[in-house]
Amino acid sequence: MDTPVLIASITLTAVVALIPAVSDEGSVDLSVVIPAYNETGRLPSMLEVTLTHLNSPAIKSSRTYEILIVDDGSKDDTSALALKLASHYPQSELRVVTLEKNLGKGGAVRHGMLHSRGHRLLMVDADGASRFEDLEHLWMSLDKLAPKNEPAVAVGSRAHLVKTEAVVKRSLLRNILMYGLHTILRIVGVGDIRDTQCGFKLFTRRAAQKIFPAQHLSTWIFDVELLLLAKQLSIPIIEVPVEWHEVAGSKLNIAKDSLQMLRDLLVLRGNQLVGRWKAVPL
């Protein structure tokens, strides 16, 4: 009766081997991880811009890539749409992962990162608010900071846009909350990073291998935890100015999500102070 067990275990190994893990060696130059919740409206144009850039002759000849769309348990047809879009770009390595349950943006990003194959891994919002071409600025910063792809993080920053139209146009409430958030971030220990929340961050694989397995928060404030983990692990972080424009359809519910952010920051700080959430250097 040994044989069936053996067959089952071989099958399982084969299946597991098909799913990339961040702990493996990287096999493409870049992974683009796009968390998507109810994004049928904004994903198509964002994806088109992304692919146009990555497939432009200069970039395509020097860099291989994969794109991972992580559908965070959407209630609309995000996965079906993403699969349809993928079929429009048969030359591109595009994968769609559908999470059965909504984890929150941080959970979707973490899932994508843990199953990526890139030597460098980009997280980018599905709304297209960042100028995707600015990836090249992050890329060059990492070339300098980590020429051999040592652990390092380049984070897009909108801090230089403060006082420009893009920010003034944000509601007063949003600006007050941003100010409050910054005060708290100083207390938490990432106050020297001027923009923690920009959804455009590039990690070397070795940084991702250390940071994402240790990530606990899956809600909006997960960016702060990622940066805090990087600091604890002595992974260098560079802030790189990027262009950005507000896109309609934000999923942020200011009142509810601000309270949750505050709660999560306290949970994060508390767990770190008592040493429960400690990043373990590899």
Ligand X SMILES: *[C@@H]1O[C@H](CO)[C@@H](O)[C@H](O)[C@H]1NC(C)=O
Site for ligand X in 138-197 (CB under 6 A): none
Closest CB to ligand X: residue number: 75
Residue of 202, 201, 229 lying closest to 215 (CA atoms) = 229
Site for ligand X in 69-98 (CB under 6 A): 75-76
| 277/266 Cα distance (integer angstroms) | 13
CB closer to ligand X, 76 vs 134: 76
Q: Does position 250 bind ligand X by CB under 6 A?
A: no
Residue among 38 and 116 whose Cβ is closer to ligand X = 38
The smaller minimum CB distance to ligand X, of residues 183 and 253, is found at 253
Site residues (CB under 6 A) for ligand X, limited to 34-73 = 38
For the bound state, the minimum distance from the C-beta of residue 108 to ligand X, rounded and expressed in Å, comes to: 14
The answer to whether 237 and 231 have CB atoms below 8 angstroms apart is yes
Nearest 5 degrees, angle CA 250-CA 100-CA 44?
A: 45
Three-state DSSP class for 124? strand
Q: Do the Cβ atoms of 206 and 22 come closer than 8 Å?
A: no
Residue from the set 170, 251, 263, 278 that interacts with ligand X by CB under 6 A = 251
Task: State the minimum distance, in angstroms, from the CB of residue 40 to ligand X.
Answer: 9
Taking the complex as a whole, the smallest distance from the CB of residue 109 to ligand X amounts, in Å, to 17
Task: Yes or no: say if 184 and 196 are a contact pair by the CB < 8 Å rule.
Answer: no
Tokens (6 digits) for 281: 């250097």
CB of residue 184 to ligand X, shortest distance in Å? 25
Residue (77 or 134) nearer to ligand X, CB: 77
DSSP secondary structure code for residue 40 in this structure: T
Residue 196 Cβ, how far from ligand X at the closest point, in Å?
Answer: 23
Given the DSSP bridges, would you call strands 118-124 and 94-99 parallel, antiparallel or unpaired?
unpaired
Which of 38/209 has CB closer to ligand X?
Answer: 38
Which strand (E) or helix (H) includes residue 72? strand 65-72
3-class DSSP state for residue 123?
strand
Least distance between ligand X and beta carbon 140 (Å): 36
Return residues touching ligand X (CB under 6 A).
38, 75-76, 251
